Amino acid sequence: MNQKQKKNSIPDSSTGLYGIIGHPVAHSLSPVMHNSAFKATGLNNVYLAFDVTDLEDAVKGIRALGIKGVSVTVPHKESVMKFLDEIDPVAKKIGAVNTIINRNGRLLGTNTDWIGAVKALEEGAGRLDTKKVLVLGAGGSARAVVAGLTERGARVLIANRTLEKAKDLAEQFDARWYSFDELPDVEANIVVNTTSVGMEPNQDTSLIPAELLPKYPIVMDIVYSPLKTKLLKEAEAAGCKTITGLRMLLFQAVAQFELWTGMQAPAEVMERALYKTLKKSNE
């Protein structure tokens, strides 16, 4: 019986181990997506969530246990880089790693967040090289989104509470920067919130006043809990097309699966598992 044929078997010594490290991590939807993908493709793999506070020892554990692939979430995306053997150029430019690939004990760090963001935006907005995109925030997620937009040839504008951070990010990617006070004068085809504003328990908050939203035909929020943030609700009410954070989450996971396995990801299976889990949690 080969690895693929052991589709329904109990995990054993030949089972490939994958996982996600973060703190906290119990809320993560990555195990649902990746385990459904492993099952659908018949791979004898399992994906677990690890709540990690001692990052250096956790990375040693990845090597020692032969964990084949790891997703990295907050607060470790930046700090994990110093413990890895190699960082690919895109992740290095972004300054954050969300994916680790274990190649016979040598750990490679890469980033699929930018892929997830670009795929979600292209799905909802079409080609990005003709678009002007306003990115809210200047943190790690913003860096990934801006990198992806730049890769696709979009014109990028960055707004942030701390103007110096917006300026630093903008200068790295040849973008323009603004304070939130300047938003009434900023025009764009798309706006993307990359901050945690709107996430539970602060779901009654939005960075953009509702009266400004009609200026932005397409609005995306990378926050996915709640699925419809205040920003997205008000954008819908203003007649904007909206893109939820679940699309980015799905597409970055699809890219991870393909990097780890070399196989085409069963994206529809992963999507069904994702939405089924969310539906149950909201019942």
**Sequence-separated (6 or more) residues with CB below 8 Å from residue 105:** 63, 66
3-class secondary-structure state, position 218: strand
Structure tokens at 252: 């970055």
Q: Which helix (H) or strand (E) holds 144?
A: helix 140-151
Rounded to whole angstroms, the Cα distance separating 234 from 228 reads 10
Instruction: Choose among 14, 23, 19, 16: nearest CA to 31.
Output: 19
Residue 235, phi-psi category: left (phi > 0), alpha (psi -120 to 50), beta (remainder): alpha
Joined tokens for residue 282: 């909201």
Active site residue 60: no
- Structure token pair of residue 132: 């002007």
Check 7, 39, 68, 77 and give the catalytic one: 77
Helix, strand, coil % in the chain, rounded to nearest 5: 45, 20, 40
- State the catalytic residues: 77
